[in-house]
Amino acid sequence: MEVMIGSGLIVVAGIAAAILALRPGHRALPLSRRRLETPDGDSALGRAATGASDALQGWLAGRKLSIVSPESLELAGLRLRQADIVLLVAAGAVLCIAFGWLSGNLVLGILLAALTPVIPRVVVSGRIARRRKRFNDQLADTLHLLAGGLRAGHSVLRAIDAAAAESPQPTAHEMRRVVHETSLGRDLQASLEDAARHMESQDFLWVAQAIQINREVGGNLADVLDQVNETIRERAEIKGHIAALAAEGKFSAYILMALPFGIVLLLMSVNPGYMNVMFTHSLGWVLIGVSVVLMAIGALWLRKIVTIKF
């Protein structure tokens, strides 16, 4: 009986994942406006998946519900709607409950299912951090392209457009956004500073300020960008040395934070009934709450120690 119920939960999770997989990508324009008299080749199952996803998206939008904010999804470079994330979370929760049911530890499955809404935020935050790091790592090459375009006789905006065409992601996306916003009438300085805030790049903010000063007082902007580029390269070298020296402390912090969770999961796997008293007795819940508070304090303390700002 337990195997049948667990298998049923897995099937439900698979159906939710299939709905998300079969839903075609979001179209900015209707198909009839882009390709006249082109028959829609979607299957009946694909259309049903699209309708279910669109209905869920409308329901979430009407109530202004979201697991991950649209701004965070944009910063992460993900083209997902809230309905897609909800379907993924629902499928993950069902799989966690099915895993706990089949393994004989339903409490563990419920706990894992309760944590599934947190996973999208963690994943999105990680993608945002990686995109910002790549942007800062690519900044030296971006400035080299900008200086080359200015020496070739291009204007600042045309040089930024050329750099966007030659740069990898996420620099290309941010540079194209600057070009598009400026073409629509926004001030170039405001667009550059907005991109610096999106990527949390103090170095790019200096570049924006250097471009604005050059527009006001004149001079050779290519030489100015070369000097800024040299400063950024020296700062990057210093950051690399500091990161290497702090790597051991960060790795120790990760191990210390993961150790309690690893021990609990190991005990639940080796002896499933050993930890049940923690979830069935009031004192056990009190100890869990105290542990969470102490873990949070320790995490903040370790983060303060291993994070070096300069």
Q: Where are the beta strands (DSSP E) in 131-209?
A: none
The answer to whether 146 touches 160, Cβ cutoff 8 Å, is: yes
Same domain? 200 vs 302? no
Question: Model's pTM, two decimal places?
Answer: 0.71
CATH number at residue 202: 1.20.81.30
Name the domain count of the chain: 3
Same domain? 218 vs 245? no
Nearest CA to 232 out of 162, 166, 146, 127 is that of 146
Same domain? 105 vs 148? no
- Token pair listed for 262: 């690893």
- Token pair listed for 10: 């897995």
- Token pair listed for 51: 């309708």
The answer to whether 198 touches 205, Cβ cutoff 8 Å, is: no
Type and span of the H or E element at 52: helix 44-62
Taking the alpha carbons at both ends of the chain, their separation in whole angstroms is: 60
Q: What is the extent of the structural domain holding 252?
A: 240-306
Same domain? 283 vs 214? no
Q: What is the pLDDT along the chain (310 residues), one digit of tens a residue?
A: 554 555 555 545 555 554 444 444 444 444 444 444 444 445 666 666 677 778 888 888 887 888 898 899 999 988 889 888 998 899 999 998 998 888 777 887 888 899 899 999 999 999 999 999 999 999 999 999 999 999 999 999 999 999 999 999 999 999 999 999 999 999 999 999 999 999 999 899 989 999 999 888 888 999 999 998 998 888 888 888 888 888 888 888 889 889 998 998 888 888 878 888 888 888 988 998 999 999 999 889 888 887 777 6
Q: Which residue among 179, 206, 237 closes a domain? A: 237
Q: Which residue among 90, 116, 142 closes a domain? A: 116
Same domain? 141 vs 191? yes
Residue 196 lies in a domain: yes
- Integer Cα distance of 120 and 87 in angstroms: 11
Same domain? 110 vs 140? no
Buried b (16+ CB within 10 A) or exposed e, 76-90: bebebbbbbbbbbbb
Same domain? 205 vs 262? no
